[in-house]
């Protein structure tokens, strides 16, 4: 009977050890589960560090100002409301009045300004056209929808709004540029 009691005691001690190991692993698993859950929740709630951005061009005031110059006479080689505008002088003047320096000629704009896909137009973008059988020879300033403002030619005579739905302009549109705010 003593032997039997010892065996029962050993079995009970072993059972207690197994039971205590089971509790330990069970508690450990619960703790790990809670930690994993907290980690997942915190990962979902964190936001990435914002990237510093260059100051943005205030587009609507720029477009409104360009539209206010409608009717100013076209003058080849000029870039002011008092003397008149050619196409590149017009867009350069508008941007300069908003503290943004861009190149003077259409070709320099085409080469020196960041290109944008045609399907990503936003107000204030520059529209480049091939009107003389060579790369970019005309520029206008995108307003919205299908409208742009520009100083088209001596024949048209003045700064005006035109439509990209007009087949003449639609066929000749060759690119879009987006000046960035880089004050001097």
Catalytic residue among 29, 44, 98, 138: 138
Query: Residue 88 corresponds to which tokens in the numbers above?
Result: 């590149």
Q: Would you call 87 a catalytic residue per the annotation?
A: yes
Three-state SS sequence of 81-145: CCCEECHHHHHHHHHHCCCCCCCCCHHHHHHHCCEECHHHCCCCCEEEECCCCCCCCEEEEEEEC
Gap between the Cα atoms of 18 and 91, Å rounded? 83
Q: Would you call 150 a catalytic residue per the annotation?
A: yes
Q: Would you call 44 a catalytic residue per the annotation?
A: no
Catalytic residue among 44, 87, 98, 101: 87
Residues marked active site are found at 87, 138, 150
């Amino acid at each position: 009977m003593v032997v039997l009691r010892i065996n029962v005691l050993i079995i009970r001690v072993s059972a207690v050890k197994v039971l205590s190991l089971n509790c330990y692993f069970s508690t450990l698993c619960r703790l790990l589960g809670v930690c994993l859950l907290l980690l997942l929740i915190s990962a979902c709630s964190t936001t990435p560090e914002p990237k510093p951005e260059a100051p943005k061009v205030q587009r609507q005031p720029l477009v409104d100002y360009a539209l206010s110059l409608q009717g100013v006479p076209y003058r080849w080689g000029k870039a002011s409301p008092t003397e008149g505008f050619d196409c590149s002088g017009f867009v350069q003047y508008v941007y300069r009045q908003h503290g943004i320096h861009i190149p003077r000629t259409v070709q320099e704009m085409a080469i020196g300004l960041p290109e944008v896909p045609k399907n990503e137009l936003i107000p204030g973008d520059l529209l480049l056209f091939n009107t003389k059988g060579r790369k970019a020879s005309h520029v206008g300033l995108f307003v919205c929808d299908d409208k742009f403002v520009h100083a088209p030619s001596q024949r048209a005579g003045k700064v005006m709004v035109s439509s990209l739905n007009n087949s003449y302009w639609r066929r000749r549109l060759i690119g879009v540029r987006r000046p960035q705010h880089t004050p001097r």
